Homo-oligomer: A and B are copies of this chain.
C-alpha cells in the first residue's frame, strides 16, 4: 500500500508550523529554538518557513500572536493619570508573565540590529504605538487639570515604553512595587513638570 502524499497548504500548513514553533518555544526557550528545528517538528522544510517569515524573531512573534493569548491592551479611564498608568503597567506585566524568561529579551536582541526602538515590539508599529496608548491618558489628565498640558514632547510620551522595555531587559520581574516606583518616581514627575504652552 502506497503512502498518501497529502500536502498541506496555506492556512493549514501555517497553523502546523506555528504550533510547532509554539511547542518549541515552550520546550526549549527562545534561544534554543531554531528555524530548522521548527521546520522538522512541523514535518516540513525551512524553505517553507522562509517564504512566510524573514527570521526567527518574526516567526516567534507570529506564534505568540496566535497562541500566546496576549490580551490586547484595553484603555480604561480610571479617573486619574496615576491610575491609568498603573493600569497600563499592570496589563503589561500580565502579558509579560505569560512569556518564558528570555523570550522577549531574545526577540529584542534579534531585532535590535534592524529596527529602531519604536518598532521593536513587532506589530507595535502598525497598530498601537506606545504613544497612541499614552496620549489619550494625557488628554484626559489635562482635561481634569492634573497636568498643565497634554502636548508633551515626544521623548516624554515615549518614556513609559522605554521604561517598560528597560525593565524587561534587566532580568527584573515587573512586580507591583516596580510598577508603582516607575509611575511615582519617574513618570508622574515628568508629566507634571510640563508647563502649558
The residues of A with any CB-CB pair to B shorter than 8 Å are 31, 102, 105-106, 108-110, 112-113, 116-118, 153, 155-156, 159, 162-163, 166, 169-171, 178, 181-182, 185-186, 188-190, 192-194
Q: List 12 A-B contacts (CB under 8 A).
A: A102-B113, A109-B109, A112-B169, A117-B169, A153-B181, A155-B178, A162-B163, A166-B166, A189-B190, A189-B193, A190-B190, A193-B193
Q: Which residues of B contact A156 (CB under 8 A)?
A: 185-186
Partner of A155 from the list B31, B109, B186 (CB cut-off 8 Å) is: B186
User: Would you call B182 and A155 a contact (CB within 8 A)?
Assistant: yes
Whether A118 pairs with B190 at a CB distance below 8 angstroms is no
B residues within 8 A CB of A166? 117, 162, 166
Tell whether, in the assembled complex, residue A159 and residue B171 are in contact, meaning their CB atoms are under 8 Å apart.
Answer: no
A156 to B178, CA, bound (A): 12
Chain B nearest CB: distance from A25 CB in Å?
Answer: 15
Q: Which residues of B contact A194 (CB under 8 A)?
A: 185
